């Protein structure tokens, strides 16, 4: 299949999660992504949390599919020479090293721009350039704390809580992918490359924008009516943690279903959409609430919203989460079962839509990975295995014009 990014060559100087998630997405859509890794060790995630002693860890395989691997010691002159040649022939260089690492290696933006003025250099850092924390190295949870997610997640009587969703890592990678594609379109118009940067703090904050909305509302009116603290609790001058409350204009909560005593995920998320009040009352067997002035408007319901949720839980007590959703969907009520990773892994629909796919790996055999969450009408990315360390070194060097003799010499110098 001729994928849209076919012909785009990307030097993938990324590691761990944020950068690899970005370049993997671009590889799915056709780019030739050459992962540059340190000889002997490679991306640290190859070894992290291994489930099979000598096979690349799932952490690596699930973030580096469809790529080629080139081992290169870019601190040695031979390695630098290869990288320079590669820069001359590529469209994009993506990196997520600690602050200043690329400059220390001798590949500042100015130098890369000199080598190839059409090159797009894309970076993930913890904080934006010019920020007072821009010298910090950052991992996922650090970013969630810096970007406002942790202070607004969890319950009001507990500590700030991080999400299991990789808001700092993969999310930043997705932002960077948008930046790269934009810069590529820009280059078509100007003929020039540019520097693209996304900070993990900013990418987290971008997903927390409704909490910034709430901060401003709180400062103006002193309360937030959709939070559990309203109307009985108290507010300070900062956005509180709202537990499982709906973040938009409709109240929602995680509700217990049949079996919750023993199954940690026997719950549904239930949303009370204002205009769906009538169907909700009918669905849960309380038609008398439809015209009761204590219940008929969102404002009237808010003071006893948790009593309403308790009544819904009574209705749910003899229904599994799946049975409950099957009833509620007929009434057009926005809801979902709380799905475990096990349920998702074996969900037939997720396999059918290729949102979860099985990939064959030469060492580990079959494993599951997350497929493209973006669906197209005219193309279907095919997910292939992640490369072994240095699997494509000789191939890439030969494509760059190195002779077999020169390649052997580089192996001897341990530059590759």
> Which residues are tagged catalytic?
169
Please report which helix (H) or strand (E) contains residue 184, including its range.
helix 170-190
- Per-residue CA distances from 112 to 92, 108, 402 (Å): 11, 6, 21
- Per-residue CA distances from 140 to 65, 119, 146, 270 (Å): 21, 28, 10, 29
The token pair that represents 167 in the structure block? 């808001």
Where are the alpha helices (H) located in 18-62, listed in sequence order? 18-28, 58-61
The β-bridge relationship of strands 120-125 and 92-95 is: parallel
3-class secondary structure, 68: strand
Residue 303 DSSP label: G
For ligand COA, the closer CB: 204 or 245 = 204
State the nearest-atom distance from the C-beta of 124 to ligand COA, in Å: 4
Phi, psi of 103 (to 5 degrees): -65, -45
For ligand COA, the closer CB: 37 or 202 = 37
For ligand COA, the closer CB: 290 or 400 = 400
For ligand COA, the closer CB: 276 or 388 = 388
**Alpha-carbon gap, residue 89 to 316, rounded angstroms:** 61
Q: Cβ-closest residue to ligand COA?
A: 98
- Per-residue CA distances from 108 to 82, 104, 123 (Å): 16, 8, 12
State the nearest-atom distance from the C-beta of 389 to ligand COA, in Å: 11
SS3 letters across 203-267: HHHHHCHHHHHHHHHHHHHCCCCCCCCCCCCCCCCCCCCCCCCCCCCCCEEEEECCCCCCCCCCE
For ligand COA, the closer CB: 170 or 372 = 170
177 CB-near residues (< 8 Å, 6+ apart):
22, 25, 26
Q: Report the candidate in 309, 353, 356 with the shortest Cα–Cα distance to residue 335.
A: 309
Dihedral of alpha carbons 281, 284, 288, 294, sign: negative
For ligand COA, the closer CB: 78 or 226 = 78
For ligand COA, the closer CB: 100 or 287 = 100
State the nearest-atom distance from the C-beta of 200 to ligand COA, in Å: 6
State the nearest-atom distance from the C-beta of 54 to ligand COA, in Å: 22
Q: Which residues of the chain form contacts with ligand COA (CB under 6 A)?
A: 16-19, 36-38, 72-75, 96-98, 101, 104-105, 124-126, 137-139, 169
Residue 151 DSSP label: G
State the nearest-atom distance from the C-beta of 120 to ligand COA, in Å: 18
State the nearest-atom distance from the C-beta of 128 to ligand COA, in Å: 12
State the nearest-atom distance from the C-beta of 381 to ligand COA, in Å: 23
Burial grade of 214 (CB within 10 A; 0-12, 13-18, 19 or more): buried
For ligand COA, the closer CB: 105 or 379 = 105
The number of angstroms, rounded, from the C-alpha of 32 to the middle of its chain's C-alpha atoms is 22
State the nearest-atom distance from the C-beta of 134 to ligand COA, in Å: 11
Residue-level length of the chain? 416
């Amino acid at each position: 299949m001729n994928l849209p990014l076919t012909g785009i060559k990307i030097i993938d100087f990324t590691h761990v999660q944020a950068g690899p998630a970005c370049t993997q997405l671009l590889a799915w859509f056709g780019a030739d992504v050459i992962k540059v890794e340190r000889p002997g060790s490679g991306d640290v995630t190859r070894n992290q949390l291994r489930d099979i002693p000598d096979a690349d860890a799932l952490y690596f395989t699930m973030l580096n599919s469809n790529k080629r691997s080139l081992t290169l010691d870019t601190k040695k002159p031979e390695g630098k020479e290869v990288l320079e040649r590669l820069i001359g022939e590529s469209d994009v260089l993506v990196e997520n090293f600690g602050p200043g690492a690329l400059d220390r290696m001798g590949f500042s933006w100015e130098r890369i721009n000199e080598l190839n003025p059409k090159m797009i250099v894309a970076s993930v850092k913890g904080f934006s350039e010019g920020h007072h924390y821009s010298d910090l190295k950052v991992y996922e949870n650090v970013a969630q704390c810096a970007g406002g997610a942790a202070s607004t997640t969890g319950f009001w009587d507990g500590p700030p809580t991080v999400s299991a969703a990789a808001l700092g890592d993969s999310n930043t990678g997705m932002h960077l992918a948008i930046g790269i594609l934009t810069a590529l379109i820009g280059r078509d118009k100007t003929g020039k490359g540019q520097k693209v940067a996304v900070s993990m703090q900013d990418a987290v904050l971008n997903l927390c924008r409704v909490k910034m909305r709430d901060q401003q509302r709180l400062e103006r009116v002193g309360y937030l009516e959709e939070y559990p603290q309203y109307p009985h609790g108290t507010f300070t001058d900062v956005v509180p943690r709202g537990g499982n409350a709906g973040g938009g204009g409709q109240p929602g909560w995680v509700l217990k279903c049949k079996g919750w005593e023993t199954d940690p995920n026997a719950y549904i998320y239930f949303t009370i959409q204002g205009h769906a009040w009538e169907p909700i009352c009918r669905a849960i067997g309380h038609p008398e609430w439809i015209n009761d002035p204590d219940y008929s408007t969102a404002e009237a319901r808010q003071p006893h919203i948790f009593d309403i949720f308790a009544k819904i839980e009574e209705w749910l007590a003899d229904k599994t989460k799946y049975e409950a959703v099957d009833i509620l969907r007929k009434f057009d009520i926005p809801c979902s079962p709380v799905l475990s990773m096990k349920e998702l892994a074996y969900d037939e629909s997720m396999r059918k839509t290729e949102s979860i796919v099985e990939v064959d790996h030469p060492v580990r055999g079959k494993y599951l990975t997350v497929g493209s969450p973006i669906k197209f009408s005219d193309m279907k990315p095919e997910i292939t295995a992640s490369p072994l360390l240095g699997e494509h070194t000789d191939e890439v060097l030969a494509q760059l014009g190195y002779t077999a003799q020169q390649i052997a010499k580089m192996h001897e110098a341990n530059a590759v």
